[in-house]
Chain A
Amino acid sequence: MIKSDVIVIGGGIAGMVAALVSARNGKRVTMLTYGEGTLPLNSGVIDILAYDQQHHYVENPMKAMESLPEEHPYHRIGREAVEEGISFFREVMGANGLPYAGSFDRHLFVPTAVGTLKPTSFAPRSLAGSRVFQGRRKIVVVSVRGLKDFYGSIMLENLKKELGESRSYEVAVVDPNLGGGRDITTQDVARWLESDEGRRNFVAQLRSRGGSDAVFIVPQVLGLKDGELSEELEERLGAPLVETTCLPPSVNGMRVQRILIDALRKAGVNIVENTRVIGAKVKGSKAISVTAEGCARKKEYTAERFILATGGFYSGGITMRDFDKPKEVVFNLPVSFVKGEAGWANDKLFSDQPQGFAKSGIRTDAAMRPLGADGKVVLENVRVCGRMLAGYDFCFEHSGNGVAISSAYKAARE
Chain B
Amino acid sequence: MSDTKMIEEDKQAVYSGDHCLSCTSCMANCPVMAASLEYRGPKLVAPAHGRMHFSQDDYEDSLDFCSNCKSCDRACPSGVAVSTLNMLMRGEYYRHHPHSKRDDMLAHGERMAKLVSAIPFGSTFANLGTKVSGALGVLSAMGIAGQRSMPSYASKTFYRQFKDIKQPKSDKKVLFYPGCSINYNEPHIGIAFVKVMNHNGYEVLVDEGMNCCGSPLVVTGYLDEAKEHADNNVSRILKWKEQGIPVVVCCTSCSLMLRAEYAELFGEQRMEDAAENIYDAFEFLEELMSKGELKTDFKRVDKKLIYHVPCHLKTQGIGTPAVSVLKQVPGVEVELADAGCCGISGNYGFKKEKYDISMKIGEKLFERIKESTADDVICDCPTCRMQIKHGTQTDPCHPIEILEEAYR
Contacts and interface: CB of A to CB of B under 8 A. Distances in A.
Interface string A157-184: 0000000000000000000001111101
Contacts, number: 117
Interface stretch (A60-68, A291-299, A377-385): A291-299
Interface stretch (B105-113, B119-127, B162-170, B272-280): B272-280
Given A181-B37, A248-B24, A272 B276 contact: no
B115 interface: no
B28 A275 contact: no
Contact of B34 (A182, A191, A296, A297): A191
B317 A41 contact: no
Given A273-B314, A275-B317, A178 B37 contact: yes
B57 interface: no
Contacts of B320: 270, 272
A35 B78 contact: yes
A296 B276 contact: yes
Nearest to A262: B338
Contacts of B74: 35-36, 273-274
Contact of A295 (B29, B33, B256): B256
A248 B290 contact: no
A244 interface: no
Contacts of B37: 178-182, 184, 188
B315 interface: yes
Which of A3, A276, A293, A294 neighbours the largest number of chain B CB atoms within 10 Å of its CB?
Answer: A294
A249 B117 CA distance: 50
Interface in B15-61: 23-25, 27-29, 33-34, 36-41, 44
A130 interface: no
B151 interface: no
A297 B276 CA distance: 6
Contacts of A30: 319
B28 A36 contact: yes
Interface string B107-150: 00000000000000000000000000000000000000000000
A41 B24 contact: yes
A180 to B, nearest CB: 2
Interface string A259-300: 001100100001111111000000000000000111111010
A3 B287 CA distance: 11
B170 to A, nearest CB: 24
Interface in A16-40: 30, 34-38, 40
A295 B336 contact: no
A126 interface: no
B1 interface: no
Interface in A214-259: 248-249, 254
B77 interface: yes
Given A2-B290, A41-B24, A275-B318, A265 B338 contact: yes
B336 A296 contact: no
A40 B29 contact: yes
Contact of A181 (B23, B62, B260, B275): B62
B34 A249 contact: no
A34 B28 contact: no
B317 A293 contact: yes
B21 to A, nearest CB: 9
A386 to B, nearest CB: 14
A40 B290 contact: no
A297 B24 CA distance: 28
Which of A37, A40, A294, A296 neighbours the largest number of chain B CB atoms within 10 Å of its CB?
Answer: A296
Contacts of B319: 2, 30, 270-273, 275
Given A179-B37, A295-B260, A274 B314 contact: yes
A187 interface: yes
B259 interface: yes
A96 interface: no
Nearest to A258: B338
A1 interface: yes
B76 interface: yes
Which of A30, A38, A182 neighbours the largest number of chain B CB atoms within 10 Å of its CB?
Answer: A182
B12 interface: no
A299 B37 CA distance: 39
A248 B22 CA distance: 10
A265 B317 contact: no
B259 A295 contact: yes
Interface in A140-156: none
Contact of A35 (B77, B263, B315): B77
A36 B76 CA distance: 7
Contacts of B36: 180
A91 B275 CA distance: 45
Q: How large is the interface on B (under 10, 10 to 19, 20 to 34, 35 or more residues)?
A: 35 or more
Contact of B275 (A179, A276, A295, A315): A295
Nearest to B30: A187
Contact of B315 (A1, A41, A274): A274
Contact of B77 (A36, A249, A262): A36
A343 interface: no
A254 B62 contact: no
Given A275-B318, A294-B318, A41 B25 contact: yes
Contact of B40 (A38, A182, A275, A315): A182
A188 B36 CA distance: 9
Given A35-B25, A36-B28, A254-B28, A296 B314 contact: no
A274 B74 CA distance: 6
A316 interface: yes
Nearest to B77: A35
B6 interface: no
Contact of B336 (A36, A265, A275): A265
Contacts of B290: 1-3
A215 B127 CA distance: 63
A2 B319 CA distance: 11
A36 B25 contact: yes
B318 A248 contact: no
Contact of A248 (B23, B40, B76): B23
B316 interface: yes
Nearest to B272: A296
B202 to A, nearest CB: 19
A37 B314 CA distance: 16
Contacts of A120: none
B317 to A, nearest CB: 4
Contacts of B245: none
A3 B290 CA distance: 8
Contacts of A181: 37-38, 40, 62
A1 B317 CA distance: 14
A261 B339 CA distance: 12
Contacts of A185: 27, 33
B318 A272 contact: yes
A276 B73 CA distance: 13
B402 interface: no
10 contacts: A1-B290, A2-B319, A35-B75, A40-B24, A182-B41, A191-B34, A254-B28, A274-B74, A275-B319, A294-B317
Given A180-B38, A187-B28, A294-B318, 12 more contacts: A2-B319, A35-B74, A35-B76, A40-B28, A41-B25, A178-B37, A181-B40, A182-B39, A248-B25, A274-B314, A274-B317, A296-B259
5 smallest CB-CB distances across A and B, nearest first, come from: A180-B37, A35-B77, A296-B275, A249-B28, A272-B319
